[in-house]
Amino acid sequence: MARADLIARRQEAAATRAETMTLPEGAAWATEAREAARARLLKMGLPTRRDEYWKWTNPESLIAAEAPTAAVFDADEAPIFDEIDRLRIVFTDGVFDAEASDPLEMAGIEIARLSDAARADIHWARDLYGTLEARGHASVERPFAAFNTAYATDGVVIRVTGTAARPVNLVYRHASDGSDVILHHLVKVEEGAELTLLETGPAAARFSGGLEVEVADGATFRHVRTQGRDHERREVTGVFARLGTESTFQSFTLTANGKLTRNEVVIELTGDDAVAHVAGAALGDGKDFHHDDTVFITHDAVNCESRQVFKKVLRNGATGIFQGKILVKQGAQKTDGYQISQSLLLDDDAQFLAKPELEIYADDVACSHGSTSGAIDEDALFYLRSRGVPHREATNLLTLAFVAEALEEIDDEALAEALRDRLAGWLERHSS
């Protein structure tokens, strides 16, 4: 098919999909931003498997007008971070649940619902909404992110001016097996301020998540999320961040289960001496598991550091994808870029596909990347068993060890420990 025809087909798909949607109501600025996002979507069109970054992940179920249903089980909601003092903001099937949430108040931080903010004139939110997402298409088009900006019905907007004393936890609950949810969150961490944002729980049968984060000079943003344990959900998320001078951005995602999960993280380092760490661990059991991490980090300042550390544990025909890129722009000297993606295949059926990329236009940089795929180390397994550790327990111990390197990216030991427990629990239930 000719390229022009392909684009026409993609645009047609986007137009058809857009017809089934209505832009949420809001103030003039919000409507303007949503219309602009819709225009981006219509121009880009929706992806097909012919797209370079969709050849390994089938976008069809994400595009379909009707969300495929996903059964809800009690176990999907397993609580996490309960021992951690945090401010909880609950969304049930994408609707803010004031009763279940804590009061949206904390010193040094302003929190509002997106649906309220979009009706008011909060100037920083106006400036940020859709802005980083729009910038995120510069090298690679991300139509689902534009879709998210256009049609998100709710979310939170958070502005941090001090050091948030406790993390903000967005708690998702999945109640109806046909829920089709679009949420978009904005975070602005002002100069020198600090925030830890947690996202937990199964959001919906089909979930589109958007998060735009502006990290100002000297500010710190930490993000830890666990995507629910629901088996049948489909989820596409986009995290877009822009980093100022001497700022820090850290994001970690633990994914267990899910029919289809596509997590895109797009980061721009625009101030000198900034640091961005993105990491994740994904656990999949069965042919129905498909997990895709697509990361794009742009270095556009001097002496910045970026790290990508992704681990996947796959068994019984599960599929894992990693597409990660480091782009070093001209003049971004002294860049330190590192990327590693690894999979542990617990049997012969599982598969891992990786596309690590470096594109460098500066001469004084240190960038490295690597990708590996392997089975459990037989020598280590025998050593453990020879000391009395049963086969299954030994395999789980080695699997946890494999994931440990990614978990080390999390600064907060209490958060890391909670994730380790969840991992161990999953292995316990999914090992033979």
**Beta-carbon neighbour count of residue 415 at 10 Å?**
22
As measured in angstroms, the least distance from the Cβ of 287 to another protein is 28
Count CA within 13 A, CB hemisphere, residue 411: 12
19 vs 379 by CB, closer to another protein: 379
29 vs 338 by CB, closer to another protein: 338
CA 194/CA 204 separation, integer angstroms: 29
Q: Does 405 sit near another protein (CB under 8 A)?
A: yes
As measured in angstroms, the least distance from the Cβ of 175 to another protein is 38
Q: Which of 8, 138, 401, 414 binds another protein (CB under 8 A)?
A: 401
Q: Which of 151, 252, 310, 402 binds another protein (CB under 8 A)?
A: 402
Of residues 361-400, those binding another protein (CB under 8 A):
377-380, 382-391, 393-394, 397-398, 400
Question: Over 215-264, what HEC string results?
Answer: ECCCCEEEEEEEECCCCCCEEEEEEEEEECCCCEEEEEEEEECCCEEEEE
As measured in angstroms, the least distance from the Cβ of 8 to another protein is 51
As measured in angstroms, the least distance from the Cβ of 36 to another protein is 47
* Closest of 342, 295, 301 to residue 320, by C-alpha: 342
As measured in angstroms, the least distance from the Cβ of 381 to another protein is 9
Site string for another protein, 323-362 (x = CB under 8 A): ----------------------------------------
| 165: three-class secondary structure by DSSP | coil
Q: Does 432 sit near another protein (CB under 8 A)?
A: no
CA 56/CA 113 separation, integer angstroms: 36
User: What's the token pair of residue 202?
Assistant: 């199964």
178 vs 370 by CB, closer to another protein: 370
119 vs 420 by CB, closer to another protein: 420
Of residues 257-316, those binding another protein (CB under 8 A):
none
Measuring CA to CA, how many Å separate 180 from each of 21, 62, 146, 302, 393?
12, 10, 17, 42, 39
DSSP structural state of residue 163: B
Q: Does 191 sit near another protein (CB under 8 A)?
A: no
Measuring CA to CA, how many Å separate 342 from each of 43, 166, 181, 362, 424?
35, 33, 31, 27, 19
Beta carbons of 406 and 376 less than 8 angstroms apart: no
How many residues belong to the site for another protein (CB under 8 A)? 23
CA 283/CA 123 separation, integer angstroms: 41
Choices 58-66, 69-77, 146-154, 402-410; region in contact with another protein by CB under 8 A: 402-410
Q: Which of 120, 404, 416, 424 binds another protein (CB under 8 A)?
A: 404
CA 41/CA 146 separation, integer angstroms: 6
As measured in angstroms, the least distance from the Cβ of 395 to another protein is 12
As measured in angstroms, the least distance from the Cβ of 353 to another protein is 24
As measured in angstroms, the least distance from the Cβ of 229 to another protein is 24
As measured in angstroms, the least distance from the Cβ of 165 to another protein is 32
Beta carbons of 302 and 334 less than 8 angstroms apart: yes
As measured in angstroms, the least distance from the Cβ of 382 to another protein is 5
361 vs 382 by CB, closer to another protein: 382
23 vs 424 by CB, closer to another protein: 424
Helix boundaries (H) for 45-89: 60-63
Beta carbons of 131 and 212 less than 8 angstroms apart: yes
373 burial type by CB count under 10 A (0-12 exposed, 13-18 middle, 19+ buried) = middle
Residues within the interface to another protein (CB under 8 A) = 377-380, 382-391, 393-394, 397-398, 400-402, 404-405
